Structures are given as structure tokens and as C-alpha cells.
A and B are shown apart, each in its own frame.
Chain A
Amino acid sequence: MRWILVVLVVVMLGFVSSVGIDDDVIGEFREGEKNVDVIVELKNDSLEIGAFQLDNCFDSLDDVIDEEKITYRFENSIAVEINERDLDVLSRSHNVESVVKMGKIYALLQDSVGIINVSSTWGLESSGVGLTGVGQSVCVIDSGINYSHPDLIGNYLGGYDFVDDDDDPMDGFGHGTHVAGIVAASGGISGVVPGVGIVAVRVLDNSGGGNPGDLASAIDWCVDNAPQFNISVISMSLGCNATADGYNSYCDSVDDGCFNSAIANSINVAVANNISVVAASGNFGSVEKISSPACIQNVIAVSSIDKNGLISSFADRNFLVNLLAPGRDINSTYFLGGYAIASGTSMATPMVAGVIGLINQYLSLSGQSKTPTEIESILNNTGRRINDSGSGLSFSVVDVYAAILSLDVDAPEVALVSPVNYDVDMNANRTFVCNATDWQLASLSLNIWNSSGLYYNATGNGTSFNVANMSEGNYFWNCLGVDVVGNSAYASANFSLTIGGISTMLLLPADNKYANVNDMNFSCRVVSEENYFVSNVTFYLWNSSGGLANSSVKNISGFDNASIFNYSFADEGNYLWNCLGVNNASNSSWGDFNYSFVFDVTAPVVSSLSESVGVSGATISWTTDESANFSVGGEISGSSSSYATNHSIVISGLSPSTTYNYVLVSCDGAGNCVNRSDSFVTGAVVNPVSFSGGGGSSASVSFVPKIYEVGVDEIKFGYVQKLEKDDRVNFSIFDFEGGRHLLSIDEIEVDYVELTIESEPIKLKLGVGQSVKLNLTSVIYYDLFVRLNAIVGDAAELTIQLINEPIEIRTAKITGNVVENEDGDIENYSWAVAILVIVFVLIVLIFSVIKRKRLKSSKSKEKNGERKKIKT
């Protein structure tokens, strides 16, 4: 019945339909398929707005075909899954040109990720995490994205819409969704980094246009929100329309209306924050010029190649282009659902952005850090070079796998397989097997050691090593993996092997162990070859003079036995210990060598404790009568875990003239500790430039303000000093302690300085070349002269001199109203006051004269009026 229906449809199509129906489509239904994937081509080929505004063209089809069945749209075609009834409807439609069976032509993004070698990296792991971009995010500045697209919904983190000024960057044009899919699609198709996060910033409106000012704001937004979303790349698949002619050199300062300066500034801030900025070179096919913002120096400019590896005909490129990636016929997410194919440097740009996100993920996982410039350089150096006959230049096509391998700092992970650890066997011909895991393993080596040192070494490409005729004895073995870039590692622990009938190993305490408890356990392990059980084990302890301090025997059983022996120490001292294992075949074996043990209950004795103190630091030194570590606490801190008898610690960053108390704790290897408390006082800062020629010690401590102590003799002849903000000069006018004053610098500006003089606070503001005379101690004469000679950098050079001049104009102490200018003329502010008074008086006079005139005139008018009245 169903077959008959198909025949009827076919017959009907033959008579009434002008639609070209692919025989393969009919064939599929004849063979019993219920649904067939087809491409429906529409007759309407006068599309107005390109690939991203196709809604109207499909309105009529939407009436007959379920929207959900449409898997992609491109220009005047759709890919859709149809049943027989749909085919019937399509065949009668006036809008449909043809219906053909869909081949596997839509895996174009997958082709592209293959070209840049990114899929090879998806299988790589670092620190147990797959390299898919997880943890990184790309800020896509575009037309927004449809964040509800099934392939993007899991990657979308947030964003902003600068077109509508809200926080909903929903895509109304389609370009941003396509770009975002190339970066991160995860579902029907896979983007370059399917695990990366997408942050969408909308600057292109629903017609695809935008304002360059918004672009600068968008970049700033990405930078500001980078910490929240861990944005490491900004992707800009756009260009300024004013630059149809483009730029043939860096355009950072070319202000032609494309807002280059502001955008360059934003980009520079992004790069300074370790965020790579990637932009499309443009699509005018120029071999001399590229668009803005790709022309900005700190941008990674990306141009396009086709899938066959040739530069796309539309691709702009010149020497400003940094990288190439596939940009023609790229299938990616469509903003109305499904997928669409598009071409342009727009499509190449997000590929590079995604690659950088992936590189940043690996850098983060492997504890490395690279600047955007370094990452660009890595991609350039590891990419596949192609020559462009059009421009005469050569460019690198991104090869992310090669880039990642060049950054490889992970050593191989080596595992020892056989013989198993602690193996005991009479067989002298052994096969050693170990495995190594690495992205680029170069070689694997077997190393076998005995008590004399390295016994055997071999390097091979395989994982298996045959060693013949091993002599009886105890061995340790391990394998060393080395990768192509030289990272190498052994398995985390050596394996033990005994060729012979029995093996004895000393377990605890480890060799050279110190202890301050007298009750100690000693353990050793005895392993026999598989034909004989172990029989007994004897523990031996010798004192420092070689005398046997203890021996103890235990009967043991099985093939593998660990025994514990207890001993209570009575005397401090150095001891050696070992175990002797015996099996039922009377084979016996000692541990490889005697282990050392020190029983010590006496704390170290500290002597020669001394401090060498400076203005801002101190060195504390002491010795101990035995090896010990130390820690210093209290008002200073420091420590050393090394055991030694001579100790010293340098403390810095201390304040001058300050007392520091500290507690020193020094412990020996057995854990016996000694405490010592002490203190020291740091030195005062003294004048580093002594006018009297006395070489004061330099207190060049940059983090504390300097205090200069100046005596009467120095200030008498004029003390000159360069002072920085908060520096102080402590000086004397009289030769006794109570006569000391303090001058401090409050502020230093370009051409003046603000300072304070105490004991009574007097605040002054001096311009360069200006001076002031002060009467600090008398009401009838000036006793101090201060002059600002110059301001050099952050320092003000002042002259401070003791004087004795009668005060001619009596004022209150000092208000700075008597100022001597650079020429030495006296400027008296009183003149200004006088002038002001004169002006005031003049005004009053003028006002009075005017008033008087008016009064006169009104009186004469009144008189005239009276006369008129009289006349009437």
C-alpha cells in the first residue's frame, strides 16, 4: 500500500510538477525509508540581504514543513528531513526549484577544525583535564548570539547589548551566532573548542551595522568583565565600513572616523590585561590593505584560506596580517535554529580566537603564562607556512596541535609493570616491562641498580627490556620516560627485585632517623622465592663503638613477612641496625646496608647570639652545639628547616629607632628544642649630607620617610637639603635639646612646596625661588630663613639658615606675609590691602557724587513743579 503511494506520488510528479526531484530521494522512499534528509532549493533567488536574513524567503515553506525538521538554511536552500507527504507538498509548490538528497557536505566546520589540527588536541589531557577550552572564555563582539541554540546553550555565560543598552545580547542578525558556533558549538557540530565559554557583546544591529564607538565600549566591557568570566580572548569578526580602501600600515592613530585611536586604546588595555584581541582582516580581496580594527598594532589580524589551503579570493591581506585560518564555506550555528554556511574572514577569526582559548587552557593547567604577543608568536612559528603570490608575502596557517606540543612541559607518566615490587626469584634472566604516557614520547629507558650503583641501563622505543644472567643479590629498578622536547620522569618509586632465594628489606625507621623517645619499633620485611617459606628473622642493633646493643629473633612464616622489633633506649648516642632473614632452604639475606639511628633527648645549646642592627634591618647570628633548624617569632619572623650549627637570619623592612623583641626556637633532628628571647633597637636615620663635612651614614631606606638631624653649626651657615614628601629636618636654633624644631614636607608640586614647621605648627607654601623669614623664638627679630631653591623630580631643594634680623613691620608671629622674591625685592601685601582700600574709597566717592547729582536734579525738578503749580 505504501509502495503504491510512492508510485502515485512519482507519477503525479511526472505530470504536474515542475520541481526537480532527485531520483535518489524517490529511491530512498521506495526502499522503505520513512524520512529522508534533502536539500530544498527555492526559486526565489533575489534575496535581499544575504545569508543572515532569510526568514521571508522561507515563510511559505514554514507553512508546510515543520520548522524543527529544518537543520540548516543557506541563501535560497534549506536542509530538511522530509517524509513522503512532505515530498508531495514540496513537489507542488511554486516556490520550490528542486529537491535533492543531502550528501555529507555539511560537515564543513569539522573539515576546518581538521585543517587547523584542532581535533588532534581534543584527545590530549593535562593534569587529568581534556583540552577542550574548559575554564576559558571568548568574548565575541558581534551581533549577539542566540544563546538558546542547542549547540551553544551550554557555553553561553553572559554578555551585554550595546545596541539596546541592556544585558540581553540576543542575536537579531545571525552573524554573531554563526561566529560563536565556530568557536564553541557543542552538539550537532563541534566548534574549535567545544568546552570554552562564550560571552556575547552585541554591537551590530539587526541589519548588521554598528557604531565604532560601541566597539570601543564593548572591548572595555570584555576587559572589565574578564575576571568574572575568565575571558582570555576577544573575537571581532567585523570591520569599519569607512575603510573600504583599508589600511596599509598600523592605523592606531589614524582618526578617520573609525574611532581607531579610542579602539586602539581599549585594545591596548585588553592586551595589557593579558587578553588576546583577534580581528578579521576584511573581505575586499585586497593584497595591500586590510580593515580596521585588524590594522591596529596589538590586534591579531586574521585572514582566510579555503579548505584546499589556498588564500580565499575575498581575503584582505598585507604585512599586518598575522595568521590564516579557514574562512570559506564554514558551516556553523544559525540564529533561527539549525546550521548555515557562510564565508569571510569573519569565519576565520573565531577559529583563531578559539585556538588561543585552548592554548590558554593548557597554559593554565600546566602552570605557564604567556602574553598575547608570545601566543601569537607561538602560533606563527608552529603554523604551516604558505606563500601568497598575490601579496608576495608568506603567512602561517594555524596548527593548534603543533602549538600545544611546543608548549609541552608535562613529563611522561611512567608506570612499572613487571616484575612486581619486592619480587624474589632465582631466575637470573628477567624481562622488565614499564609503560609511559605522553603527548610526544621519545624514548623509554630501563635502569637497574644494586648496592654498588647502576647495574644495567638500556634505552629503547618499546616498553619491554630483557636482561640476562643477573647475579644473585638485591636490586632496584625504574624506567625513565623522555619526550620530544626533553621533559623526562621516572616512575614515582623504584621497584625492588632480588635474584636469589630470599630478600630482606629494612622498612622503619628510615635510614639516618633521629628520635627523642626511648621506646622504638624497628620493622623489616623478609621475602622468599616461591619454592620455600621464610623461616626466621633476627634484628641486630649496634652502638657507636660497634658493640651489640640488642639482638632478637622471631620465627616467621609464609613467602612474605614483615616483622616488628621493639627496643627501649637507655643511652643517648648513634646506633646502627639491620635484619637477617632465613628461609626453609637455609638461604639467608641481610638488609642492603646497616641503617643509622640516633637516640637524642638533649636540646641544642645556643651560644654566641648577636645582632648586627641597621636603620631598617638587622642580622641575628648564633651557633648551636649540634645540628639544628630554627624559627624566629615575636615582632620579627623567619625560619630555616635546614640543620646546621652556624645560623644567621637577615631581617629587613624594619622601622628606624624601634625596639624589636623576638623569640628564637632551635630544634635538633630528634625534635629537642631550645628557646631564647632577646631584643634589639634599630638605628636612627641621620643626616646623609653633612654640611660640616662629617660623613653621616646613609639611610637610603626608600620605604620610610627620611629624617635629617641638623645641628646649630650646620644651620648657622645655611643648610641645603633635597627633601621628598614626608621627609623631615630636625634642626636646632639654640644649642640645647629644647631648642629643636621640625620642618616637614607636606606636598611637592611642579612649582611649589607645602611644608610645616614645628614646634608650633606653621604651615607654608613656597614657590620656586621664594623665601620666608620666621620668628620662631622671638617677637622682635627673625631667627630662621627658609628658601625653596628648586624642585627636581620628586624632591624640593631647600635652604634653611639661622638669622638674626629685627622685625620692621610688626605682625603676628609669622603668616608668610613678608616675602622676598627672587630679585631680593620686598613685596609687602600691605600694599595690596592699601590699594584695595583706595579702590573702595574711590568707589564710595563716585557713588556719593552720583547720588548728590541725582539729589540735586530731583530738587530742581521739584522746584520747577512748584513753579508750574504756582502758574496754574
Chain B
Amino acid sequence: MEKKGLVGLIVLVVVLLVVGFFWFVGELGGETNEELRCEVDDDCVKVQVGCCACNMGGAEKCVARSFEGDYLSRLDNCSETMICAAVYNCEIVGCRCIDGECVGE
């Protein structure tokens, strides 16, 4: 019984570790395939990554339209009074769905 309890405890710890790991990875902003998943070009949309616009040192990327809101809500945390580098990074003209993934072109 004790052994089972110990195993259960270990399993619990491992599960917690695994969940924690994935949560951690997710928090780090690791891109999930879900974000990029698409069927047609219209499923994809260009979003701003980070607080600075691509005109001013920031970057942009193409994601599934369903994730557009997530990226927009992230911008809510950005200060409106930031200074950004004046380097022009707006290179993505449009988004396409290629092999089931949103890509910039």
C-alpha cells in the first residue's frame, strides 16, 4: 500500500513537472503549430510580435486568424510610451497557407 502510495506520489510529481514544463514553455511564447494551422490563405493573418511596431524595430508574423485576438491582447500589456529602435522590419507583404501552415511572403 505504501509502495503504491509512493508510486502515486511520484506519478503526481512527474505529472506536475510535465504540466509545469509545458506551461513554462507556453509562457515563454513558444510557437505552437496550432497557431500556424490553416487550410486556405484567408485563414492566415499578419500580427505584430512584441510591443514595437515593425516600422520601429519590432517584427510581424503570420498566424491562424483565430489567434489574432491573442496577439492583439498581448499588445494591451505594452506601454504606449515606449521608445523603439528606428529600424524598418516590415518585410511581410501578405500571408499564405502553405502545407497547412501560415507563412509570410
* Bound Cα distance A91, B60 (Å): 29
* Bound Cα distance A30, B97 (Å): 40
A248-269 toward B: CB 8 Å interface, digit per residue (1/0)? 0000000001110000000000
Find out whether the CB atom of A211 lies under 8 angstroms from the CB atom of B91: no
Asked if B80 is at the interface (CB within 8 A of a chain A CB), the reply is yes
A interface, CB within 8 angstroms of B? 45-53, 75, 142-143, 173, 175, 178, 203-204, 207-212, 214-215, 237-242, 244, 257-259, 280-285, 291, 312, 314, 342-347, 349
Measured CB to CB, the closest approach of chain A to B50, in angstroms, equals 6
Find out whether the CB atom of A204 lies under 8 angstroms from the CB atom of B83: yes
Find out whether the CB atom of A203 lies under 8 angstroms from the CB atom of B83: yes
Given A48-B31, A209-B78, A342-B88, 17 extra CB contacts under 8 A: A45-B104, A46-B36, A46-B102, A49-B58, A49-B59, A50-B58, A50-B87, A207-B52, A208-B57, A209-B83, A238-B85, A239-B83, A240-B81, A240-B82, A241-B51, A241-B80, A283-B56
* Bound Cα distance A211, B80 (Å): 10
* Bound Cα distance A50, B103 (Å): 14
* Bound Cα distance A209, B49 (Å): 12
Give chain A residues whose Cβ lies under 8 Å from the Cβ of B31: 46, 48
* Bound Cα distance A47, B49 (Å): 10
Given A207-B51, A283-B55, A314:B88 Cβ within 8 A: yes
* Bound Cα distance A837, B95 (Å): 90
Measured CB to CB, the closest approach of chain B to A296, in angstroms, equals 13
- Which 5 pairs of residues, A with B, have the shortest CB-CB distance? A50-B89, A280-B86, A257-B81, A344-B87, A346-B86
Given A238-B86, A345-B86, A50:B59 Cβ within 8 A: yes
Closest B residue to A312 using CB positions: B88
Give chain B residues whose Cβ lies under 8 Å from the Cβ of A53: 59
Find out whether the CB atom of B58 lies under 8 angstroms from the CB atom of A238: no
Contact of A175 among B36, B85, B103 (CB under 8 A): B85
Give chain B residues whose Cβ lies under 8 Å from the Cβ of A211: 79, 81-83
Give chain A residues whose Cβ lies under 8 Å from the Cβ of B57: 50, 52, 175, 204, 208, 238, 344, 346
Asked if B19 is at the interface (CB within 8 A of a chain A CB), the reply is no
Give chain B residues whose Cβ lies under 8 Å from the Cβ of A343: 87-88
Asked if B45 is at the interface (CB within 8 A of a chain A CB), the reply is no
Give chain B residues whose Cβ lies under 8 Å from the Cβ of A142: 85
* Bound Cα distance A238, B49 (Å): 18
Contact of A49 among B50, B81, B84 (CB under 8 A): B50
B68-105 toward A: CB 8 Å interface, digit per residue (1/0)? 00000000001111111111111100000000011111
Give chain A residues whose Cβ lies under 8 Å from the Cβ of B55: 244, 282-285, 314
* Bound Cα distance A215, B83 (Å): 8
Total number of residue pairs linking A and B with CB closer than 8 Å: 151
Q: Would you list 17 pairs from A and B whose C-beta atoms are within 8 A, ordered by A residue? A: A46-B61, A47-B61, A75-B91, A204-B57, A209-B52, A211-B81, A238-B56, A238-B83, A240-B81, A241-B56, A241-B81, A244-B53, A244-B55, A280-B86, A283-B88, A285-B55, A344-B57
Closest A residue to B50 using CB positions: A207
Closest B residue to A347 using CB positions: B87
Given A208-B57, A282-B56, A346:B85 Cβ within 8 A: yes
**Which among A50, A178, A244, A281 has the greatest number of chain B C-beta atoms within 10 A?**
A50
Find out whether the CB atom of B54 lies under 8 angstroms from the CB atom of A50: yes
Closest B residue to A51 using CB positions: B89
* Bound Cα distance A544, B12 (Å): 125
Give chain B residues whose Cβ lies under 8 Å from the Cβ of A346: 57, 85-88
Give chain B residues whose Cβ lies under 8 Å from the Cβ of A259: 81
Chain B facing A: main interface SS: loop
**Which among B36, B56, B80, B85 has the greatest number of chain A C-beta atoms within 10 A?**
B85
Closest B residue to A345 using CB positions: B86
Asked if B62 is at the interface (CB within 8 A of a chain A CB), the reply is yes
**Which among B56, B81, B88, B102 has the greatest number of chain A C-beta atoms within 10 A?**
B88
Find out whether the CB atom of A49 lies under 8 angstroms from the CB atom of B49: yes
Q: Which residues of B6-41 are within 8 A (CB) of A?
A: 31, 36
Find out whether the CB atom of B85 lies under 8 angstroms from the CB atom of A48: no
* Bound Cα distance A51, B87 (Å): 9
* Bound Cα distance A190, B57 (Å): 24
Measured CB to CB, the closest approach of chain A to B70, in angstroms, equals 14
* Bound Cα distance A259, B81 (Å): 8
Give chain A residues whose Cβ lies under 8 Å from the Cβ of B104: 45-46
Find out whether the CB atom of B86 lies under 8 angstroms from the CB atom of A46: no
Find out whether the CB atom of A143 lies under 8 angstroms from the CB atom of B85: yes
Closest B residue to A215 using CB positions: B83
Measured CB to CB, the closest approach of chain B to A345, in angstroms, equals 5
Closest A residue to B85 using CB positions: A175
* Bound Cα distance A178, B86 (Å): 12
**Which among A46, A47, A240, A345 has the greatest number of chain B C-beta atoms within 10 A?**
A46
Find out whether the CB atom of B85 lies under 8 angstroms from the CB atom of A237: yes
Closest B residue to A75 using CB positions: B91
Given A50-B58, A210-B82, A241:B53 Cβ within 8 A: yes
Give chain B residues whose Cβ lies under 8 Å from the Cβ of A282: 55-56, 86
Give chain B residues whose Cβ lies under 8 Å from the Cβ of A75: 91
Closest A residue to B105 using CB positions: A45
Find out whether the CB atom of B86 lies under 8 angstroms from the CB atom of A349: yes
* Bound Cα distance A173, B87 (Å): 12
Give chain A residues whose Cβ lies under 8 Å from the Cβ of B101: 46
Measured CB to CB, the closest approach of chain B to A796, in angstroms, equals 49
Closest B residue to A315 using CB positions: B88
Closest A residue to B51 using CB positions: A209
Give chain B residues whose Cβ lies under 8 Å from the Cβ of A208: 50, 52, 57-58, 84-85
Find out whether the CB atom of A45 lies under 8 angstroms from the CB atom of B87: no
